[in-house]
Chains A and B, each alone.
Chain A
Amino acid sequence: MNNPIITLEGVEKRFGNNLVVKNMNLEIAEGEFLTMLGPSGCGKTTTLRMIAGFEEASAGIIKVEGERVENKEPFERNVNTVFQNYALFPHMTVFNNIAYGLTIKKVPKAEINERVTEMLKMVQMEPYAKRKPDELSGGQKQRVAIARALVNRPKVLLLDEPLGALDLKLRKQMQIELKRLQKKLGITFIYVTHDQEEALTMSDRIAIMHDGILEQLGSPTEIYEHPKTKFVAGFIGESNIFDGKVTAVDGNLLTVETEAGSLQVCGEGFAVGEEMHVSIRPEYLEASTSPVAGFSLDGKIKDFIYQGSVVKTTIDLVNGQEVKYSRFEQDQTVSEGQKVYVYWKPEKAVAIKKNEQGAV
């Protein structure tokens, strides 16, 4: 990558004996919207806090615009943070909250007025300039927090689950607003969330973290269509995952022996005898009441789950494993308890190496 704005090289963080971020390598391009996604405790927030300077990296190099910052104080770094709980100063008005950073930097008063007013307009909070944070709703507080960070014109904005406390509807609205804002300003956003839908909606690239390890880094499409690890396949969207062993390789068509039976998947770089995982999305899984050509797994229809936009059908396989397929309407060709043959197009399934971690 040419001139990444943020570079992490071998960054680690240790709390006592607990290694919460392990050998993190990451380059973030200028103007990029990068999301760090993972379950709680995966080290995503800690990574963000190391970039901001609130946590000291136990090892590794952190660069902002090519300059090493790991020993700099937060106030010496050209990044700003939007906090999870907003962290607005309760004793100051909305205006003074936003003006805080500029006041500290001794920007002339007229310019402060101008820039703060501009920010208030941008986040549509002009009528609330004289209010105290206590008198604002969650969404309004969030807007002020964003304005307070952006008024400093940072190169990089760090956002730590900024929409976590908002209700679903407001969250969706703020997601779109944030994405528009980011495009308009061209600022690099590093966004931490545990909400995969949020990540898929907003990001240019997603970094998936698990147990302190960067599992996969890629565009939302890459992450969704080509998960590189079992964890990513299971974490992003819904997947039916099989553990098995390659029994035959024919070009890129692999035959894999699993507890549920023998199945097929397309993949490269696998050898006969190798243990691996196969992931198939519910939208690509097929079930037929009559035997099919190629391969199929025996199963029995368990039940139907109505989810509004789709109806999921669950099937118990012979080994007791449960798989799901989804359709826009309930599959009328099958009924509960009926024996079915489960199959899919091998190119729709994803072959995943076993124990492949930190593959970037």
Chain B
Amino acid sequence: MSMTDQAAMPKKKNLLPKLAMAGPVSLWMILFVTIPLFYIIVISFMSRGVFGDVVYKPTLESYQTILDPTYFQVILKSLKAAGVTTLLCILIGYPFAYIIARKPKDVAAKMITLLMIPFWTNSLMRLNAWLLLFQTSGPVNNFLMNTGLVSKPISFIYTDSLVMVGLITNMLPFAVLPLYSTIEKLERSLLEASADLGANARTTFMKITLPITFPGIFSAIILVFIPSLGIYTVTDMLGGGKVLYIGNIIKNQFGSIRNWPLGAALSVLLILVTMLLIFIYTRFAKIEDMEVV
């Protein structure tokens, strides 16, 4: 009844309660997200001073620099690395999430916890552990040498492959969680109905399981792809600064190199890629009338 009463009431509303509730968060977001973001966009169109300061003289120089083959290669390489990471995370995460989702609730909760434990430890500690494990005189190489599998230590660290392994382990939970939550909701009777109507396991997966869990897959793509594109800790530590990705370059522009306009321009590019992905997602969600996980 209150609903209809409210609807019937004249348009004059007391905005104070709403403002009181939404105000602090809005203020916070405006101060610490919106304004800095605009600042980044603005300085991406400015020039760099001789001493690394920002000179407020409008120019497109930074954006032209991005198109320079050197940078362009790095951007492409980063996109590729993030893409491969995402693909592998989904390929590894999907069967994993599927298995968890089909377990009884209490077992599933334990398995999710096991997945999350490494995630709760400090990422720098984890990355250092990887370095120690795989360094030239580390346990992995020692084992390979002692068992006679190799005669010379393999240089694992500071390679693209180890960066990739690091990215995947870092990002896997982001893929498994949304996948788990959609697969878990998939009713068993739908799979039985499909089998009943003559579909074998493969066909059922392709025609029923996959389409129904697609929102989960897309959430996983967004949750893995976007951070792995911008992440610099993994690439910095496991790549040893030898392997350059867009995240490292941005960090360096704002840090040691002190070319803020270029760093800002690269950031804007990252934001645009992200927005494009989210745009595709919302369009897709609307067309298929599916809920965002």
Contact = CB atoms under 8 A, between A and B. Distances in A.
Interface of A: 52-54, 73-75, 79-81, 83-85, 87-91, 100-101, 104-105, 132, 134, 148-149, 152
B190 interface: yes
A91 B199 contact: no
A132 B196 contact: no
Given A89-B194, A90-B190, 20 more contacts: A52-B192, A52-B196, A53-B196, A74-B192, A75-B195, A75-B198, A75-B200, A80-B197, A81-B192, A84-B189, A85-B189, A89-B190, A90-B212, A91-B290, A100-B207, A101-B198, A148-B197, A149-B196, A149-B197, A152-B197
Given A91-B212, A91-B288, A104-B203, A83 B193 contact: yes
B112 interface: no
A92 to B, nearest CB: 9
B5 interface: no
A149 B193 CA distance: 9
Given A91-B288, A132-B289, A73 B200 contact: yes
Contacts of A84: 189
Contact of A104 (B189, B199, B288): B199
Given A85-B187, A89-B190, A132-B289, A75 B196 contact: yes
A83 to B, nearest CB: 5
Interface string B87-105: 0000000000000000000
Contacts of A53: 195-196
B189 A83 contact: yes
Nearest first, the 3 A-B pairs at minimum CB distance are: A101-B197, A87-B189, A74-B195
B211 interface: yes
A81 B208 CA distance: 17
B211 A91 contact: yes
Contacts of A75: 195-200
B203 A81 contact: no
A165 B47 CA distance: 69
Chain B contact residues: helix, strand, loop or mixed:
helix
Nearest to B193: A87
Interface of B: 187, 189-190, 192-200, 203, 207-208, 211-212, 288-290
A104 B196 contact: no
A131 B173 CA distance: 36
A105 B198 CA distance: 7
Contacts of A83: 189, 192-193
Contacts of A91: 211-212, 288, 290
Contacts of B196: 52-54, 74-75, 79-81, 149
B195 A73 contact: yes
Contacts of B195: 53-54, 73-75
A87 B200 CA distance: 17
A162 to B, nearest CB: 13
A197 B196 CA distance: 29
B211 to A, nearest CB: 5
B74 to A, nearest CB: 40
Q: Of residues B192, B193, B288, which shows the largest number of chain A Cβ atoms within 10 Å of its Cβ?
A: B193
Contacts of B193: 81, 83, 87-89, 148
Nearest to B191: A87
Contacts of B208: 89
Q: Of residues A74, A84, A148, which shows the largest number of chain B Cβ atoms within 10 Å of its Cβ?
A: A74
A84 to B, nearest CB: 8
Contact of B192 (A87, A90, A134): A87
B189 A152 contact: no
B204 to A, nearest CB: 9
Contacts of B289: 132, 134
B198 A152 contact: yes
Contacts of B288: 91
B116 to A, nearest CB: 30
A54 B187 contact: no
A314 to B, nearest CB: 43
Q: Of residues B189, B195, B197, B198, which shows the largest number of chain A Cβ atoms within 10 Å of its Cβ?
A: B197
Contacts of A89: 190, 193-194, 208, 212
A81 B194 CA distance: 10
Contacts of A87: 187, 189-190, 192-193
A84 B199 CA distance: 20
A356 B63 CA distance: 90
A100 B187 CA distance: 17
8 contacts: A53-B195, A75-B196, A81-B196, A83-B192, A87-B187, A87-B192, A104-B199, A148-B197
B46 to A, nearest CB: 49
Given A54-B192, A85-B187, A87-B187, A100 B211 contact: no
A189 to B, nearest CB: 15
A91 B203 CA distance: 15
A180 to B, nearest CB: 24
Contacts of B212: 89-91
Contacts of B192: 52, 54, 74, 81, 83, 87
Nearest to A145: B193
Nearest to A83: B189
Contacts of B207: 100, 104
A89 B187 CA distance: 10
A138 B150 CA distance: 67
A93 B127 CA distance: 49
Nearest to B288: A91
